[in-house]
Amino acid sequence: MDKLVKLETFSNEFVGFVKATSESGATGWGQVSTYNSDITCDIFHRQIAPHALGTNAFDFEDTLNLIGEREHKYPGSYLRRAMTGLDTALWDMAGKRAGKPVVSLIGGKPCKLRAYASSMKRDITPEDEAKRFVKLRDQFGFDAFKWRVGRECGRDRDEWSGRTEEVVPTVSKALGDGIAKLVDANSCYSPKRAIEVGKLLADHGISHFEEPCPYWEYEQTQEVTEALEIDVTGGEQDCEYVTFKLMMDMKAVDIVQPDIMYIGGLTRTLKICAMAAERGFKITPHAANLSLVTMCTMHLLGAIPNAGKYLEFSIEGEDYYPWQYDLFLGEPYKIEDGKATIPDAPGWGVELNPAWLERAAYKKSEIQR
């Protein structure tokens, strides 16, 4: 058995990376979930590392289960976000030892993936959103786009009065025919208002309505799903098997959207994907920034049989996500003809920027020998 002997974290407020080292000297890099990542890394060393050190670095599914059992008094988001750092680092290590990309370890192969250009902005005018979408379509060949409606957890309020009724037709018309059109309400609406908005979306050729109601209110989302012809989607915020099972068994959504970083890593996400496949659901994961989450999602989509139509690909620049720049060397996220390419290098196929790591807050847990 090649034991896990050292776990190191490199973090700031927005992103945190994990380096795992085995007794033989094998290494792998992973990431805890973005946002409040410095706090998540503290949790990693307090509640993840003590259970993982000394276990088999190359047979870790039971270790992940054990962590949940040992930390049963602390279920929920922070524990899973921290667990992701361990899981993704060990998948990278496994790929490097095998000389294969992670996608190949889980039954797929490197390939090109259709991407949808995903806007995160609500403070943008409909005209400006339309202009930048058209520019991206023409420059990078995107043929699918997602934009925002309503206000995040908005209790039926818009970002400003009338914005949704304006942004839907403005952007849809600018993009024209032959383009897949998606919107995200981020838990804004009551069922009544969501159904009204959903009918507006259908009238303008939009086929994907994400998180229309408060995500934790599955019955509300189910009501919207049953009332609309277009796909209602959700699941990005959920991190426990039981909630995904409930969501699917009651058919609250048409398409399931787990986030690898929120749910606890690739291993747990594969379980959700299998659960969805058994029930006839497609998977269109949430991947809202260009940290490691998008790369992990690419490897996932290249392997699962029930992959959805596209990869979420954030289009935001330094004005919105200044922290996501200079994380990696090279260009891991290059779009050509509207597609991203899964790398064929071992592991995740990315190399972290040493200069970024030098600036990050550092902490380690290790077995004392």
The mean pLDDT of 305-324, rounded to a whole number, is: 96
Q: Assess whether pLDDT exceeds 90 at residue 9.
A: yes
Alpha carbon of 155 to those of 160, 194, 225, 228: distances in Å?
13, 11, 19, 20
| Alpha helix segments (H runs only) across the chain | 37-43, 49-52, 61-70, 77-98, 102-105, 126-140, 163-175, 191-203, 218-227, 241-249, 260-263, 266-279, 292-301, 354-359
d(CA 244, CA 247): 5
pTM: 0.97
Q: Assess whether pLDDT exceeds 80 at residue 257.
A: yes
Alpha carbon of 257 to those of 58, 171, 329: distances in Å?
28, 24, 29
Give tens-digit pLDDT for 41-83: 999 999 999 999 999 999 999 999 999 999 999 999 999 999 9
Backbone angles phi, psi at 241, to 5 degrees: -55, -40
Kindly indicate the confidence band of residue 11, based on its pLDDT and cuts at 50, 70 and 90.
very high
Kindly indicate the confidence band of residue 368, based on its pLDDT and cuts at 50, 70 and 90.
confident
The mean pLDDT of 202-222, rounded to a whole number, is: 98
The mean pLDDT of 297-319, rounded to a whole number, is: 97
Q: Which of 130, 110, 111, 109 is nearest to 119 (CA)?
A: 130
Which pLDDT belongs to residue 369? Answer: 66
Report whether 11 contacts 78 (CB < 8 A): no
Give tens-digit pLDDT for 85-113: 999 999 999 999 999 999 999 999 999 99
Give the helix/strand (H/E) hosting 233.
strand 231-234
The mean pLDDT of 318-342, rounded to a whole number, is: 96
Please name each of the domains of the chain with its CATH number.
4-99+354-366 (3.30.390.10), 104-341 (3.20.20.120)
Q: Assess whether pLDDT exceeds 70 at residue 185.
A: yes
Which pLDDT belongs to residue 218? Answer: 98
Longest dimension (CA), the chain: 67
- Average pLDDT over all residues of the chain: 97
Q: Assess whether pLDDT exceeds 70 at residue 184.
A: yes
d(CA 47, CA 12): 19
Give tens-digit pLDDT for 283-293: 999 999 999 99
